Amino acid sequence: MKMMKTNIKPLLDYLDEILPTAKCELLYTKDYELVIAVMLSAQTTDKSVNAVTPILFKKYPTLDALYDAPLEDIEEIIKPIGLYKNEAKNLKGIVKDLVDRFNGVVPSDKEQLMTLPGVGNKTAGVIRAEIFQIPDLPVDTHILRISKRLNLAKKDDEPIDVERKLKKIIPEERWIKSHHQLIHFGRYYCIARSPKCENCKISDMCIYKRK
């Protein structure tokens, strides 16, 4: 299907109306905790991550403590989120790199962030936007779905393709805000199954609704 030229303002205005204070829902108090939480959330929901990370960070309250933590214990704590063995290895790898390579400080450079285990383009973008307020608009499964439903992206577009397209039509000063709003819109309104289309004010943009 050919993409239509879209006036993005109605979408942004609608997001401002229904989600004016959308923000990151992952629980963290320290920069490295966010890095770990975002990495873990790539394979599961924020809710699932928030159920295990407070336990982990309470038992191991510093980077050094996590550095020395037995891998098996980390696996046991994060086991409920699934794929826990690989995630535990990534977690230990992140902690090791932050301590050994970055003096315990989370880097703001995207290329450096993406050298951390389990940290790809999307995760690095979230970290930069949340910790350093560096404009970025990383695309998760919610934003990917919404963008295709609203004809802002093609059916076979990958997340990086959608990110580039959204950055062209959304003002840079709104990237961080729109990132959170679009995630919340997909999480609570335009959900994967049985989206709440009845009262949606942008249904005229929506391919899903027209179907």
pLDDT tens per residue, range 72-126:
999 999 999 988 999 999 999 999 999 999 999 999 999 999 999 999 999 999 9
Domain with CATH 1.10.340.30 in the chain: 31-132
* Average of per-residue pLDDT across 158-175: 97
Q: Any idea which residues carry the catalytic annotation?
A: 122, 140
Residue 55 and residue 34: Cα distance in Å, rounded?
Answer: 14
CA dist., res. 138 & res. 164, Å (int): 9
Architecture of domain 136-210: Orthogonal Bundle (1.10)
Model-level pTM? 0.91
Residues 74, 59: Cα–Cα separation, whole Å: 10
DSSP 5: P
CA distance to 60, 127, 192, per residue, from 55 (Å): 9, 21, 30
Res. 4 pLDDT band, cuts 50 70 90: very low
Q: Return the SS3 of 70.
A: coil
CATH 1.10.340.30 fits 31-132, yes or no: yes
**CATH 1.10.1670.10 residue ranges in the chain?**
136-210
